[in-house]
């Protein structure tokens, strides 16, 4: 086992300079301190590593062998320091993110584009999972942070509230019921509903709120993405449960119309979650700083 790395540092500097005094200057310590380190190392290894000449000191045969290994270790450490500096300065590095398909597409993607433009050599890894699965990945240390749907209650996580989301119901422009006064939840449930499959946070949130109104939602079609719900609603196949912020273009153009429901679904938020008391890499920290 290595008792003291400073002994090997002193050995390396003396071997490089051929002088105890020059080694002391490079290490910013005194010459007696260098001599003491060499003596300790020689005692530890069981024999002399240098011998004195009229021009300074030279390595013994044992010292020559040791220098080969110490030089390799020195270069490895230098490269390690260089790599860490590059990571700190975002010249290189990696950031691992967990996010659902919808949040990745509509929320995260523009910021990833901006981050990649600024730091093109930092690798970005995105794992698409539900909020529940993303939290599991985070606790297992397989991602740096997660982009999830709130609310969540996890003591070992740090949660930063981000963008507000408003779930709503939409239909194609030809649907007659879009011009009606607000529908009750019972009236809404009588329409052909298009919803995400069970297991998604959006679906769970809508189901839970409907149950508070005494209604158990019974969708006619269950789909795997917001994009599919939008397309199905546009061609008149039903009323889709979507996020208003993510279909703003379709609503503005008239391709979709909102179906008013009373009471409306309360707003919720996107959450940025990290493991409590676990430091982030420089890349992950910088990306988080870019997110609202």
pLDDT of residue 8 exceeding 90: yes
Task: Round to the nearest angstrom and report the end-to-end CA distance of the chain.
Answer: 49
pLDDT of residue 16 exceeding 60: yes
* Radius of gyration over every alpha carbon of the chain, rounded to an integer in angstroms: 32
Whether 216 and 254 map to the same domain: the answer is: yes
CB 207, CB 268: distance < 8 Å? no
Q: In this prediction, what percent of the chain has a pLDDT beyond 90?
A: 78
pLDDT of residue 201: 82
- What confidence tens digit (pLDDT) does each residue in 99-125 have? 988 899 999 999 999 999 999 999 999
Whether 149 and 178 map to the same domain: the answer is: no
Q: Which of 29, 58, 88 marks a domain boundary? A: 88
Whether 153 and 280 map to the same domain: the answer is: yes
Whether 230 and 185 map to the same domain: the answer is: yes
Whether 173 and 261 map to the same domain: the answer is: yes
pLDDT of residue 277 exceeding 80: yes
Q: List the domain range (segments joined by +) for residue 218.
A: 167-266
- What confidence tens digit (pLDDT) does each residue in 36-87 have? 999 999 999 999 999 999 888 999 999 999 999 999 998 888 888 888 877 7
Whether 104 and 232 map to the same domain: the answer is: no
Domain with 17 in it: what CATH number? 1.10.10.10
pLDDT of residue 178: 59
pLDDT of residue 161 exceeding 90: yes
Whether 159 and 280 map to the same domain: the answer is: yes
Whether 63 and 201 map to the same domain: the answer is: no
Nearby residues of 62 by Cβ (< 8 Å), 6 or more positions away: 45, 47, 48, 49
pLDDT of residue 2: 66
Whether 274 and 160 map to the same domain: the answer is: yes
pLDDT of residue 238 exceeding 90: yes
Whether 122 and 243 map to the same domain: the answer is: no
C-alpha distances in angstroms, 158 versus 107, 122, 141, 146, 271? 20, 24, 14, 11, 10
Whether 208 and 193 map to the same domain: the answer is: yes
How many structural domains compose the chain? 3
C-alpha distances in angstroms, 144 versus 94, 106, 131, 162, 260? 10, 20, 15, 17, 39
Task: Give the burial class of 78: count Cβ atoms within 10 A of its Cβ; 0-12 exposed, 13-18 middle, 19 or more buried.
Answer: exposed
Whether 75 and 10 map to the same domain: the answer is: yes
pLDDT of residue 202: 86
Domain with 208 in it: what CATH number? 3.40.190.10
Q: Which of 27, 62, 88 marks a domain boundary? A: 88
Q: What number is the average pLDDT over the span 184-211? A: 93
pLDDT of residue 90 exceeding 90: no
pLDDT of residue 176: 62
Distance (Å, rounded) from C-alpha 233 to C-alpha 239?
6
């Amino acid at each position: 086992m290595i008792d003291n790395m400073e002994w090997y540092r002193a050995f390396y500097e003396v071997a490089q300079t051929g002088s105890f005094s020059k080694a002391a200057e490079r290490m910013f310590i005194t010459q007696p301190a260098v001599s003491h380190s060499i003596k300790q190392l020689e005692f530890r290894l069981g024999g002399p590593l240098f011998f004195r000449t009229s021009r300074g000191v030279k390595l013994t045969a044992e010292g020559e062998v040791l220098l080969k290994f110490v030089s390799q270790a020195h270069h490895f450490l230098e490269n390690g320091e260089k790599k860490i500096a590059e990571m700190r300065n975002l010249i290189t590095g990696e950031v691992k993110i967990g996010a659902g398909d919808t949040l990745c597409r509509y929320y995260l993607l523009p910021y990833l584009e901006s981050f990649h433009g600024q730091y093109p050599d930092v690798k970005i890894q995105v794992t698409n999972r539900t909020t529940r699965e993303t939290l599991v990945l985070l606790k297992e240390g397989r991602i740096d942070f997660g982009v999830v749907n709130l609310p969540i209650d996890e003591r070992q996580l740090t949660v930063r509230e981000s963008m507000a989301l408003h779930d709503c119901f939409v239909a194609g422009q030809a649907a007659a019921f879009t011009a009606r006064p607000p529908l009750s939840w019972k009236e809404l449930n009588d329409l052909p509903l298009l919803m995400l499959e069970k297991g998604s946070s959006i679906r769970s949130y809508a189901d839970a709120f409907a149950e508070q109104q005494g209604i158990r939602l019974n969708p006619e079609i269950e789909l795997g993405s917001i994009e599919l719900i939008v397309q199905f609603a546009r061609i008149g196949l039903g009323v889709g449960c979507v996020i208003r912020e993510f279909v703003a273009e379709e609503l503005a153009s008239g391709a979709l119309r909102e179906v008013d429901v009373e009471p409306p679904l309360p707003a919720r938020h996107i959450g940025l979650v990290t493991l409590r008391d676990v430091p982030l890499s420089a890349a992950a920290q910088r990306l988080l700083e870019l997110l609202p």
